[in-house]
Structure 1
Amino acid sequence: MLLNIKTIIRDWSLSATVSGFIAVLIGFASAMAIVLQAGQAAGASPQILESWIWALGIGMGVGCIGLSAYYKRPIIIVWSTPGAALLATSLMGATIEQATGIFIFVAILSILVGVTGAFQKLTSYIPLPIASALLAGVLFQFGLQIFTSFALNPLLVGIMLSIYLLTKRVLPRYAIVCVFLVGIIITIFQGQLATENLAFELTTPIWVSPEFDINLLIGIGIPLFIVTMTSQNLPGIAVLKASGYEKQSISPILTTVGSINLVLAPFGGFTFNLAAITAAICTSEEAHPDKNKRYIAGIAAGIFNIIAGLLGAAVVALFASFPMAFIAALAGIALLGTIANSLNTAFVEPVYREAALVTFLVSASGISFFEIAASFWGVVFGLIVLAFQRLKH
């Protein structure tokens, strides 16, 4: 244990720390409103909503730190944003106790999938070019946001993009660090950093005893589980594959994450899963040129998640204080390298090119059939194209 801590201290870097912080910043700032809507749909009080933030922050933090330190890879654990959106539209009329029962049910399903290894067996049949095309499709909209946010604040986004292009040539390891710092300076200079509502207080977790309604477990719990697996864990695995961690064992991660979910569900931890978008920031070369030292970004993300959970309501106000143009541009710029690498891997082999193109287009389209996200259908259609191509031979 002591040796492991010494290794972590030796491998620690500013670039990985900033990547971890940016991942947490983007995660909270872009999706916290959806989580709050989900809690309000279940009739959660303001105190219970703060407990949800506590549970989510602690769960993500423990998952990131434990798994990243154990595997020496940036394993980023987050809540399911599509899952939160599903809850926000489905929990109307349910009680907070019934919602807690749903969270426990989903946690048990996650543990079962991890223990049996079923999900890992299925994803092992996905070739790397297809996985890379999936990742590029999922991240495509974030790349576009650099330029859509330019219309909102040309000065801020223009300077951030210019700093990235300049530092990418002279200080590539610290390019995102420089973009982040310069972006904050410009935001303050423009008077757009709204910190007047900040009040730093520790959050008190609140236990909610679960109630199990079979209709809600089937009608909400199973769709929540499917959405989490297809729209979060599937692209999360694609991130690891596309970043050079193809041999990462997934089943133990799912079992661990499901166990964390089970413990924290009564406090508001509705789902935990592998990250895709924010993970791509921590697995990129910007986090560290040496992929064996990028796990520090995962540990850093875990630390910032725990801080966010402990401070609860203050963190909601903090992340809301950044203008959307800053958040959107920062996310897009941080993911540019990953998008480029994913597209290169997806299309470099002619035999996979058409299948990868279909996967990319479907994943980027945002279509949804049967309440299942585009990332899942991108893989399905890509594999169908690949199967037809192989039939010809």
Structure 2
Amino acid sequence: MLLVRLLAAAKGDGTLNLVTVDGKRHRIGSGPPKLTLRLHDHAVVRDLLINPRLHFGEAYMDGRLSIEGGTIYDLLSMLMSGSEVQGALGRAVEALSPILRRAQQYNPMRRSRQNVEHHYNLSREFYELFLDRDMQYSCAYFSEPDMSLDDAQEAKKRHIAAKLLLVPGMRVLDIGCGWGGMALYLARHTGARVTGITLSSEQFEVAKQRAEAAGLSDRVTFELRDYREFAGTHPAAFDRIVSVGMFEHVGMPHYRNYFDAVRDMLNEEGVALIHSIGRLDGPASTNPWIRKYIFPGGYSPALSEVLPVIERCGLLATDLEILRMHYAETLHHWRARFKARREKAKALYDERFCRMWEFYLAGAELSFRLQGHMVFQIQLARSLSAVPLKRDYMLNAERELASTVTDLPGQTPFSVEATMP
């Protein structure tokens, strides 16, 4: 059976039972089976042979396959630790990858707004089910063992703020500001004046409400704007620019536009910090299931695709840090929290939606644990003199920020039980 051979090639350690719709059992591996994959209709076999990277997730969402003896995380862990397997369509797509990537990531302003709304305009109530109290929807920074998610997200904000060399009164732009947590943190703890821009109407409204609740509306403003539109009206307007978890949505054809915009909006002694998911193993293509259901137009780049563009647009890379397993740990926390409040998510949406998010969170975590994904932070400047000669200033700034009070108005209350990880 071709599907057995496909699964055998993908499978890492462990033994898997495959049960087809006619009740036939196929043991894949030599030891006692750890898991059973059960197929519930004949078409699943055909779909998996044609394009497993797309159709496996779809079949799980639709209940056309199920896992016995474990969870979708357990099964994906087994499959993703083996060889990457392509179906017939998948191989053809991969061969055309350099061409298709540019088409798939072509994100003019209108499409960018649509892509953002697809994912980030889900309700605030949904994201509150599994995010930290400040609603940070990006990689946390686990600077100490056994940190809680709230503490690790606070550490992330400190880590980024330290790299920005902020002093009171500086003008800061937050590109892709989310629900406003980073902008509010920078204004509250450094005295900066921050402008946040986003394409998500849902996030925009929440961010404005949070600024008002925190009493920071005089120092933090938010706009529903595309960075390309915004850049044209703000030449050299900012001392600092920060962008966290937004670059993944820019798209390769627009990297030059993006970094040109960053350069043009920075003043001569300005500093920028770009925080993004990336790839350790070189250029590739976005998983088709992720592209269709989670992040249309999205792509996590290799540094070899980013640094040449930075060089060509005249910015200087003044610091680069690779965060390897931090996002795996972040996703582990999100997955556990989502599981604990799954019934509330189902009440907001439906069972298929919950299965989609289970598949997404499990697959995303494993992509960092097993398949070469990472997070990079690039510090950029226009001038060689914009940052100190030594990196000591970062650690000193983090220590100073850690001593400040963080439980202040404007942070989103998060009521998950204290026993949650």
TM-score by length of 2: 0.22
Greater helix fraction, Structure 1 or Structure 2:
1
Q: TM-score, normalised by structure 1?
A: 0.23
